[in-house]
Amino acid sequence: MYEETKRDRFIRIAESRTNKILNMVKLLGNCANPASYEYSREDVKKIFDAIEKELRNAKSKYEGGEDGGTKFSL
């Protein structure tokens, strides 16, 4: 029986989670349809500021930083 290495586990989990995130970003892009949704520039700025902040936090973890987890709300 095959025993999964830490590297193998990282690849499996990281690929799965990255693909989920990419799919969710695509779905978020669907909210840009003005025929279906109403939003302001400020709403869009808040959304992408929150996403960019969380990306910086995640990247920081790989560089030895700490998690500054947050929840988003408009």
Do 70 and 50 form a contact (C-beta atoms < 8 A)? yes
pTM: 0.79
- Give Cβ neighbours of residue 74 (< 8 Å, ≥ 6 apart): 43, 46, 47
Do 68 and 57 form a contact (C-beta atoms < 8 A)? yes
The encoded tokens of residue 30 equal: 């669907």
pLDDT of the chain, 74 residues: tens digit per residue: 889 999 999 999 999 999 999 999 999 999 999 999 999 999 999 999 999 999 999 999 999 866 556 677 88
